[in-house]
Amino acid sequence: MERQTITVAESAGGRVDRFVADLSGLSRTYVQKLITEGHVTIDGAVVRNNLIVVPGQVVELEIPDAAPLDLEPENIPLSVVYEDGDMLIVDKAAGLVVHPAPGHPGGTLVNALLARDTEYGGIAGVQRPGIVHRLDRDTSGLLMVAKNDKAQASLMSQLKARSIKKTYLALAQGAVAATAGRIEAPIGRDPHHRTRMAVVPDGREAITGYRVRERLPGWTLLELDLITGRTHQIRVHLQAIGHPIAGDPVYGSGTSRRGPDGMERLFLHSWRIELKAPGDGHVIVATAPLPPELEVVLEGLRAMEAGLPRAAGPFAELDMNDYREPVDEGR
C-alpha cells in the first residue's frame, strides 16, 4: 500500500476530493472511492468527499494495492502505432471488443493488453486497465491506453477539457450538401428503442464537426471531429441529418444498412488523434490508415464513377497522411 502526506498550502483550499486529485495525479472518481472507503484522513480523522480543506491541515492518503483482475491474458495480436513510458495508442481492428462485459468475458482488448504487459493490471485496480475511452466493437482505429494512474488522470483530464482532437472517417449515404459543417444535437437514450441512442430534447450536449473528403456515386466520404464523446455520437448525428453511415446495422436501413458493393462492416474508422503526452506535454499526433476491407469499398465506388469495371487488382490508394486542418469554427 502506498501512502502520501500532503500539507494544505496557504493559497490552497476547496473540496477535499478535488484537492487530493489535483495534488496526487489520480482521477477524481478514484479519489472519491478512496475517501468513501476511509483511505483519506485529515489530521487523523476520516472525511467526506465534500469537506472543505483549509491551509495548514495535513491530508493523509492511502492507495491500496490493485486488486487482482479476474481476467486471463490472451495472446491477441495488437497493432501499436505509438508508445512511451506512460501510454500507448493502438489501432483496434473491427470486431474486437474493448473491455469485458457480461456475456463477453474474454477475447477483448483488455485481455490482449494483459498478455502484452502485466503492468496494465494495476491501473486504479479496475477491470478496464488503462482504458480512458472506447470504440464500438464494429468501429476500427485509434484508441489510447494509459500505463499508470497519473497518465490515466492526464488523459481523462484532457478528454474532459475537450483538448484531445479525435478525427474519424465515415462513408455517409447520399450527397452531403455542405462542404463543411457542424452538428449540434443532444443525444440520449431512444425512448422507443431502449437499446439505441437518439437525438432527444433532454439529451446530453453532443457536437460533431465534419468536412467532405471525397464525393462518390451515392455516397460521401467524411472527416468528422468528435468534439464531445457521447455513445454512438457520429452514427446518431449522421442518421439524424439524413446521411446514415454505410453498413450500420443499428441506425441504418435499406441501402445504407447494406452499403455499397463489397461492404462487410460499419464504415467508421478512428483515423487521427492529437493530444499532449502525459509525461512531458509534447504533442503526439497518431494516424491509422483505413483497413483494406474499407479501402476496397472506395475502390469500387471510384471505378463506378469512372465508368470502369470493378478493379480486381490492388486496392486504390487513399493517402491518410494528406490531412487538411479543420476550418476555424469558433469553438
| Residues labelled catalytic | 136
Q: How far is CA 323 from the centre of its chain?
A: 20
| Alpha-helical runs (H) found in 178-291 | 233-240, 255-258
Element (H, E) at 279: none
The amino acid at 56: G
Phi, psi of 37 (to 5 degrees): -85, 5
**Residue 182 contacts residue 209 (beta carbons within 8 Å):** yes
Contact status, residue 15 vs residue 28, Cβ threshold 8 Å: no
Q: Which of 83, 151, 138 is nearest to 113 (CA)?
A: 83
* Cα–Cα dist 157/211, whole Å: 27
d(CA 197, CA 6): 44
Is 269 within 8 Å of 143 (Cβ atoms)?
no
Chain mean position to CA 119? 21
